[in-house]
Structure 1
């Protein structure tokens, strides 16, 4: 059998051409900022990662079902050009051309199927659409086609998809061409306010956007009066400052939820911290008193030593309720991930689950894994924490009755399925930010005192009538004991005849 002939020279030339087109240098990682969602994350929930009505960026460009809004992008370009006196189409195209190479290097794929003309056109149309869409959402001057409620909601969902992004410096450059840098911080802060469900993420900010901020972004004056300036900053202070370098809209939304990842995100009861310190202190004292002793009576169990208390798992909401652990909504949370555990009560900010919430959760998890990996994944840890207590629709009902979850998706079964599937294919570090909370919740739940106390309340004090019955029985028992006491007392202390 003859061996197939190989054109070595031709293969070398072909591979060398492919190597020459790669970005960067050998053995040096490229700082990509826009990725396709990995298949192992998206395979069970593809609809949460694919745009429904509009394509932004190259990954979904040209798909037939997304062509309806391509004409709207050109209309938005025309509307944006009409906002400034010193801006022209020639200037915008020239600036986009200067950013082409930098933009291409943000994507994890080469995008050779798009020539320079097509790529620059995409940059301009998509960048203008994002900028004009945000401005229209602020000033309320909507295009009639986009005023249809269902389409507007789908657009918002599409704009927070990890695969559906362009670099934010494109939007920044277009904003600068029109408004210079006037009030950029106001504009940038209100982008996540408009995209995210603000009643959950920004609970302290009024549902209606303040008129003063709207008017200033839509028609920036030369100077802002001091009184108006203080009003604006009082509102904006409740929205986290954006990062110094914004990669894209998903990155901006993520930063609003995890604004200070270096700070501790979880509060554990000081009671448990004190117990842990006491355990350590007693252990050291006993070891010093009897360093060679083998008596088991001197051993003091330390947390997570003699018993394997999990920092990765917690029981279901139903089981925790039976163990004496309570759930309560957290008042005035610092941020969405602000969870605490004190004196047997887990406090979680109220979460409102809409259709848009499903897209946001799935894509923020995918972004976190693509950008930071499992070693820094607080948002993933947060969603995993929501998943652990929710095994059945009954667990969702318990969290609803406690005021932690508001379900706008439909049935409890639908919400249960979404929460259970939200983190499929993801991993997170054992040193996640909720590890200590898991440990303390499990330690509290495993305490026989707390279990018996919860059982007593559940069996005998579960309703006002049961409580009245128990109190009446106790009173009857006390009266019976008093009567018996006086009967015995009278018998032994009868007066002598």
Structure 2
């Protein structure tokens, strides 16, 4: 027995040797240090509700690289300090000065802005998906400068666009006119580029920072009658302005729940297209075989805006997917340049973007590599009902063809004979080719 026991013990010892992993102890300090350091590119808080500002995923940015990068102004930390934005960075101080002149009526000075934002530093850092390398002082300074720039810029744009309206917001904005020495005020090309850059996902600061700075510099009641939505940042605020008064819903599986066909194919199946007069371009209706869609103007402003909307909906965990759903619908309808032209003829697409080919390419790209659940959308019913009409139409056409060709015994026999002759011809061709090309028998 002892001999048997020793043998068993030797087996265990031998087996254990095969599972030993030798670790170089000099490597341990680096491992421990890496485990203790906070992740930089994607923090552990990136999946929380507070995290709402992200770099665009590579799978999306590679498809439409230009749509996500700012051109002339950096907002927030992701592009901070880059030389290409230096011109506008210097001009931000002009806008800050204009805002401070207005804030004097409330006896608010620059230090009040810094102190208010400093109290929010922890929440500001939680808003970004990456660990911010800026120290507290630099971060607060950046938030105040960028936030005041955005607020004053919008006030100046509003005073230009709505100059003839009797509006309390404009009355507040005009109390201190824009500095005539500010060169940006005289350059017509600047404002459109600024507005585009302010609506890039990577180019955001938290909305609660903007709200605090606005409240400090202007009467609290100024915007009350204008807006009842509060986004996570400026891009999200604009996104919410497109959302219609209909809820996303979860529907039961159905054989009609799949992506719809292109506009030209649906037209062949009897689906009609009409422009719809409604507040939101996302408000799509399908009733009695008619698909009603509000006219959509495609231009150099809307196209990158939609791409950044979709990127935000893909990254932020608590976001609804309204823009993603609408973009998927339009991508289905506009599969080819002919589809784009067809919807243009029906006053649903207004093309200031380029050729029909470019419009088709845009809608094909906007829905690439995005997560989309057709059973959980605000347009689930539209997808289902359009597919039902389309499939029933082609089933009816097939049934009609069958009846036309096989409604008598003679027509059935004629078709059967034709199919038999075709099969015989194919068989004969095969054997002819085989005899000519078959390998020779090996020598015996």
Q: Does 1:83 align with 2:102?
A: yes
Q: Determine which of 261, 281, 289 is the counterpart of 1:336.
A: 281
Aligned to 2:145, the other structure's residue is in SS state: helix
Structure 2 Cα separation of the partners of residues 17 and 265 of structure 1:
41
- 2:270 is aligned to 324
- 2:348 is aligned to 404
Aligned to 1:149, the other structure's residue is in SS state: coil
Structure 1 Cα separation of the partners of residues 333 and 101 of structure 2:
53
Distance 1:182 1:116, change over 3 A: same
On the 8 A contact 1:445/1:451 being kept in 2, the answer is: no
On the 8 A contact 1:48/1:362 being kept in 2, the answer is: yes
On the 8 A contact 1:265/1:337 being kept in 2, the answer is: no
On the 8 A contact 1:312/1:435 being kept in 2, the answer is: no
Distance 1:146 1:42, change over 3 A: farther
The alpha-carbon deviation at position 119 of structure 1 amounts to 1.1
Structure 1 Cα separation of the partners of residues 128 and 72 of structure 2:
22
Distance 1:47 1:263, change over 3 A: closer
- 1:44 is aligned to 63
- 1:116 is aligned to 136
Gaps in structure 2 of 5+ consecutive residues: 1-21, 161-176, 398-444
Aligned to 2:90, the other structure's residue is in SS state: helix
Q: Determine which of 205, 215, 220 is the counterpart of 1:166.
A: 205
The alpha-carbon deviation at position 11 of structure 1 amounts to 4.1
Structure 1 Cα separation of the partners of residues 316 and 150 of structure 2:
23
On the 8 A contact 2:258/2:374 being kept in 1, the answer is: yes
Aligned to 2:85, the other structure's residue is in SS state: helix
- 2:220 is aligned to 181
- 1:151 is aligned to 190
Q: Does 1:354 align with 2:275?
A: no
Structure 1 Cα separation of the partners of residues 85 and 315 of structure 2:
25
- 1:125 is aligned to 145
Superposition RMSD in Å: 3.1
Structure 2 Cα separation of the partners of residues 110 and 391 of structure 1:
41
Structure 2 Cα separation of the partners of residues 373 and 82 of structure 1:
39
Structure 1 Cα separation of the partners of residues 33 and 235 of structure 2:
40
Aligned to 2:327, the other structure's residue is in SS state: helix
Q: Does 1:435 align with 2:422?
A: no
Over residues 293-316 of structure 1, what are the superposed CA-to-partner deviations in whole Å (9 max), with x where a residue is unaligned?
A: xxxxxxxxxx987xx43x222221
Over residues 388-414 of structure 1, what are the superposed CA-to-partner deviations in whole Å (9 max), with x where a residue is unaligned?
A: 121211111110110101001121111
Distance 1:451 1:71, change over 3 A: farther
- 1:242 is aligned to 229
Over residues 77-131 of structure 1, what are the superposed CA-to-partner deviations in whole Å (9 max), with x where a residue is unaligned?
A: 111101122121222222222222221121111112x122221111111001111
Q: Determine which of 18, 23, 26 is the counterpart of 1:6.
A: 26
Aligned to 1:103, the other structure's residue is in SS state: helix
Over residues 274-333 of structure 1, what are the superposed CA-to-partner deviations in whole Å (9 max), with x where a residue is unaligned?
A: xxxxxxxxxxxxxxxxxxxxxxxxxxxxx987xx43x222221111111111110012x2
TM-score, normalisation: structure 2: 0.72
Aligned to 2:333, the other structure's residue is in SS state: coil
On the 8 A contact 1:265/1:339 being kept in 2, the answer is: no
Q: Determine which of 101, 121, 124 is the counterpart of 1:100.
A: 121
On the 8 A contact 2:244/2:282 being kept in 1, the answer is: no
TM-score, normalisation: structure 1: 0.65
Distance 1:29 1:165, change over 3 A: closer
Q: Determine which of 239, 258, 266 is the counterpart of 1:254.
A: 239
Q: Does 1:364 align with 2:403?
A: no
Structure 2 Cα separation of the partners of residues 45 and 449 of structure 1:
37
